[in-house]
Amino acid sequence: MSDYNHSEVEKKWQQRWKDNNTFKAVEQDGKEKYYCLVMLPYPSGNLHMGHVRNYSIGDVFARFHKMNGKNVIHPMGWDAFGMPAENAAIKHKVHPAKWTKQNIARMREQLKALGISYDWDREIATCDSEYYKWNQWFFIKMWEKGLVFRKAANVNWCPSCNTVLANEQVSEGVCWRCKNHTEHRDLEQWFVKITDYADELLEGHKELAGWPEQVLSMQRNWIGKSYGAEVDFALSGSGKKLKIFTTRPDTLFGATFMVIAPEHEIINELKDKIKNWDEVAKYIVESGKKSNIERSQSKEKTGVKLEGVHAINPVNGKETPIFVADYVLTGYGTGAIMAVPAHDQRDLEFAKKYNVPIVEVIKGENSDISNKAYEDEGVLVNSGQFDGIKSADAFNIVSEWVEKHGFGKKTINFKLKDWLISRQRYWGTPIPMIHCPMCGIVPVPEKDLPVTLPEDVEFTGEGESPLKSSESFVRVKCPKCGMPARRETDTMDTFVDSSWYFARYCDAHNDNAPFDGKKVNYWMPIDQYIGGIEHACMHLIYSRFWHKVMRDLQMVNSDEPFTNLLTQGMVTLGGSAMSKSKGNTVSPDEIVEEYGADTARLFILFAAPPQKQLDWSTEGVEGCWRFINRIWRLKDIVNSKAESAASDNDKADMLRIMHQTIKKVTGDIEKEHQFNTAISSVMELVNYLYTYKFHGNDNSVSLEAYKAVVLLMTPFTPHLCEEIWENLGNKDFISSVGWPAFDEKFIKQDTIEIPVQINGKVRGKIFISAEAGEEDVKKIVLADEKTAQNLKDKQLVKFIYVKNKIVTLVVK
């Protein structure tokens, strides 16, 4: 009996799969396709166990459906733009491209060593100009459609490095490099009008029955659709109006003051009227220094009253004071609110602190506003002609009154903001625009794409975007008038790269278009998408949006890109997520070296269901290695032709367990996505085979069961299974062979054992025919000696038979 040599076997089959193009995907009319995709990795340098988990999960789906006869596409690529490469360039003086390519090369080898069934011919890296050329192409299409626009926006700015910082480069208000305090600055930025699709992104959820409810609810929150009204409050003595948004128009009579965000433009317009301007200006500067997180975490609300101006409540003509306070956000609604302290907790806290009157306008059962705002429904009071109306009805009645009298209108608001896609960095897709002093903003003509990243750039981490230092890049002629012009130096958010890569995989090397429509429509939408829950809102909304834009450009014919979504749990170490920046990663290399890729894959799939968080521990790896060897050794035992002493009953039992296992594993993979229980049921089948009788020379039944074991394990441990399959004399690759079928006829049992409960406790077991009716079962139960003992001196009150499950007696 030879020991299983994992390293030899795994190399052998990886080579054979490659030589035979086993996993190459080709469009085939009439064959059902299956698109399996795992979110593409960022090439950080090394695979960690989190990656192993993701890609192993994806491989189970891909291999399972291939064995079930589907035309499977399972591509892989690299989300290769982003800050870490640029940081490495600053720190180690390596060009980001070089650093990235090295990392990709290393991680590609690690992935190949895991034996994942990728079609490597479709590999892409988003930092290749063949790829990002099409980011630029899409950008121009969106510009033409009015989906791209420019607007001033707030950015983090480090005054000592003289550079823009990403959110993750600022922690606790301090620059990651120089540790100096950062500030906010307004810069002209590029935006994508994702809000045009806000409603459709929400409505589209109806098509996403194959998504976890958790993700849908997170997206609902993120999109944040709310119904309300915009109301204009006149400003005393200025002729100007202040527009506010409220979700509670029913509380309009309770508005005793107004609050506007420090960034609100009306403050400057009212400058002459504001008597305490110095105080107000100081407050605005102070809150501008705070990060959004600081703002939201401060326990006490702060603000300053604008002396000398008042707003007039349109419903009752009352004058109300106006405050500027940073608990009101500039980016939501109109950046101004009417404050109703009686019915909004935040407003109440503020009103108490600044001594503003509190007027109750909604009376509910037991409503008491002395300590806490009453935010529930009730009946209107102190509301003039609307008194006595239920608050739920008043929403419409009051809004209609406001609308009729020209003070405002009903409206819908979204939390979803337009997507700020420009970055003042080097390592990203250059935005293909040219600023001409004569013609304004002019897109780069399609024939001049791609706009490639220049090489003559130095990475210091200081100053503005490194692209600005490249003369050859910046100095261009205007495509329209030919006069000297300046090239845009902003690059795109890397979320752009991952918003459509799944479509590019369908036609990965097309030089004339992002992809061919026929090919994309053959493979899309993705049947199974797999990735972390952390992408629930950003990536999974951006790419749904992008897909809808591609649909509106008549490039794809589906509405949604991802039919089914599985969000796998994180692999943690001591409870915190593995990531390179935390330095707590575990590399798969040692396990692959010592026990092989199959063991690594099996272990990580067996340890927990895919959706669940998994805290890393190597305990148990040996158990999986043992199991692999148990399957391997079984080959010689089964092959020794030694079964004839097995009785017909033994054989029937063996077949029953085999068919049961096939049924269970198939369901666990296909429907439940519970790979851990699929594996454990194969373990049971293997255990059963070990205790099965082997004497004589007929091994037909045990060989059949053994083959089932090998086929069922192929999605988990493909190398081992290929090797055994070949050893059993098969010429085909097991990866391409049919998935085993089960037959209920073998699973059905004539006689079954069921428990007998008396008053809720199991008191015995009986054998009955599976077909037996309640009356028959009752006879058997009452005739049972043990049951009779338990029934002595008692009265049978109730008899319950749950078919093929349990008998329950209720006695007194």
CA separation for the pair 308, 584 (Å, rounded): 58
Q: Which of 176, 623, 704, 766 binds RNA (CB under 7 A)?
A: 623
Identify the three-state secondary structure at position 722.
Answer: helix
Window 737 to 756, contacts with RNA (CB under 7 A): 753-755
For residue 629, state whether it binds RNA (rule: CB under 7 A).
yes
- Closest to RNA by CB, 393 or 615: 615
Window 633 to 662, contacts with RNA (CB under 7 A): 633
Q: Of 630, 632, 605, which Cα lies nearest the Cα of 620?
A: 605
Q: Which of 145, 765, 779, 794 binds RNA (CB under 7 A)?
A: 765
CB of 520 to RNA, least distance (A): 30
SS3 per residue for 604-671: HHHCCCCCCCEECCCCCHHHHHHHHHHHHHHHHHHHCCCCCCCCHHHHHHHHHHHHHHHHHHHHHHHH
- Closest to RNA by CB, 517 or 764: 764
Window 236 to 255, contacts with RNA (CB under 7 A): 245-248
Residue 787: which residues within 8 A CB-CB, separation 6 or more?
A: 756, 758, 763, 764, 766, 781, 809
CA separation for the pair 498, 514 (Å, rounded): 14
Phi, then psi, of 400 in degrees rounded to 5? -65, -35
CB of 777 to RNA, least distance (A): 14
Window 526 to 545, contacts with RNA (CB under 7 A): 533-534, 536-537
Window 690 to 729, contacts with RNA (CB under 7 A): 690-691
CB of 702 to RNA, least distance (A): 14
Q: Which of 46, 68, 584, 677 binds RNA (CB under 7 A)?
A: 677
Window 219 to 238, contacts with RNA (CB under 7 A): 221-222, 224, 226, 228
What would the DSSP string read from start to end of 562-592?
BSBEEEEPPEEETTEE--TTTT----SHHHH
CB of 734 to RNA, least distance (A): 22
CB of 637 to RNA, least distance (A): 9
Window 55 to 74, contacts with RNA (CB under 7 A): none
Window 325 to 354, contacts with RNA (CB under 7 A): 326-329, 331-333, 335, 337-338, 340, 344, 346
CB of 681 to RNA, least distance (A): 7
For residue 211, state whether it binds RNA (rule: CB under 7 A).
no
Pure H helices in 124-212: 129-144, 198-203
Residue 96: which residues within 8 A CB-CB, separation 6 or more?
A: 85, 86, 88, 89, 426, 427, 459
Cβ atoms of 641 and 702 closer than 8 Å:
no
State both tokens at 79.
Answer: 């989300």
CB of 261 to RNA, least distance (A): 6
- Closest to RNA by CB, 546 or 606: 606
CB of 438 to RNA, least distance (A): 40
For residue 683, state whether it binds RNA (rule: CB under 7 A).
yes
Residues constituting the chain: 812
For residue 295, state whether it binds RNA (rule: CB under 7 A).
yes
CB of 85 to RNA, least distance (A): 23
CA separation for the pair 608, 603 (Å, rounded): 9
Q: Which of 168, 446, 684, 774 binds RNA (CB under 7 A)?
A: 684
Cβ atoms of 720 and 771 closer than 8 Å:
no
Window 252 to 271, contacts with RNA (CB under 7 A): 261
Q: Of 321, 376, 319, which Cα lies nearest the Cα of 350?
A: 321
For residue 518, state whether it binds RNA (rule: CB under 7 A).
no
For residue 777, state whether it binds RNA (rule: CB under 7 A).
no
For residue 43, state whether it binds RNA (rule: CB under 7 A).
no
Side-by-side strand order, sheet with 484-487: 440-443, 433-436, 484-487, 475-477
Identify the three-state secondary structure at position 436.
Answer: strand
Size of site (CB under 7 A) for RNA? 89
- Closest to RNA by CB, 518 or 765: 765
Contact track, RNA, 779-798, x by CB under 7 A: -------------------x
- Closest to RNA by CB, 95 or 633: 633
State both tokens at 353.
Answer: 């602190």
* CA distance to 338, 359, 363, per residue, from 382 (Å): 17, 8, 10
For residue 680, state whether it binds RNA (rule: CB under 7 A).
yes
Phi, then psi, of 156 in degrees rounded to 5? -80, 135
Q: Of 629, 570, 578, 620, which Cα lies nearest the Cα of 600?
A: 620
For residue 574, state whether it binds RNA (rule: CB under 7 A).
no
Cβ atoms of 229 and 250 closer than 8 Å:
no
- Closest to RNA by CB, 396 or 680: 680
Q: Which of 177, 301, 663, 693 binds RNA (CB under 7 A)?
A: 301
CB of 533 to RNA, least distance (A): 5
- Closest to RNA by CB, 55 or 627: 627
- Which residue reads 């892989």 in tokens? 76
Contact track, RNA, 165-204, x by CB under 7 A: ----------------------------------------
Expressed in percent and rounded to 5, the helix, strand and coil fractions of the chain are: 40, 20, 40
Cβ atoms of 412 and 423 closer than 8 Å:
no
Q: Which of 478, 614, 657, 734 binds RNA (CB under 7 A)?
A: 614
CB of 641 to RNA, least distance (A): 19
For residue 217, state whether it binds RNA (rule: CB under 7 A).
yes
Residues 792-799: contacts with CB under 8 Å, at least 24 apart? 799/774
Tell how strand 528-532 and strand 33-38 pair up: parallel
- Closest to RNA by CB, 149 or 690: 690
For residue 105, state whether it binds RNA (rule: CB under 7 A).
no
- Closest to RNA by CB, 455 or 534: 534
Window 388 to 417, contacts with RNA (CB under 7 A): 413, 415
DSSP class of 430: B
Pure H helices in 390-523: 391-404, 471-474, 494-497, 501-504, 517-523
Q: Which of 31, 612, 748, 779 binds RNA (CB under 7 A)?
A: 612
Q: Which of 121, 186, 622, 774 binds RNA (CB under 7 A)?
A: 622
CB of 19 to RNA, least distance (A): 33
Q: Does a cis peptide bond (omega within 30 degrees of 0) precede residue 249? A: no
CA separation for the pair 695, 396 (Å, rounded): 84
Stretch that binds RNA, among 108-116, 187-195, 378-386, 574-582 (CB under 7 A): 574-582
CA separation for the pair 336, 327 (Å, rounded): 10
Q: Of 779, 667, 752, which Cα lies nearest the Cα of 64?
A: 667
CB of 341 to RNA, least distance (A): 11
Window 428 to 487, contacts with RNA (CB under 7 A): none
Stretch that binds RNA, among 389-397, 465-473, 515-523, 603-611 (CB under 7 A): 603-611
Stretch that binds RNA, among 322-330, 398-406, 540-548, 721-729 (CB under 7 A): 322-330
- Closest to RNA by CB, 387 or 684: 684
- Closest to RNA by CB, 465 or 599: 599
CA separation for the pair 794, 546 (Å, rounded): 72
CA separation for the pair 167, 292 (Å, rounded): 10
DSSP class of 672: I
CB of 571 to RNA, least distance (A): 11
For residue 218, state whether it binds RNA (rule: CB under 7 A).
yes
Stretch that binds RNA, among 379-387, 444-452, 570-578, 588-596 (CB under 7 A): 570-578
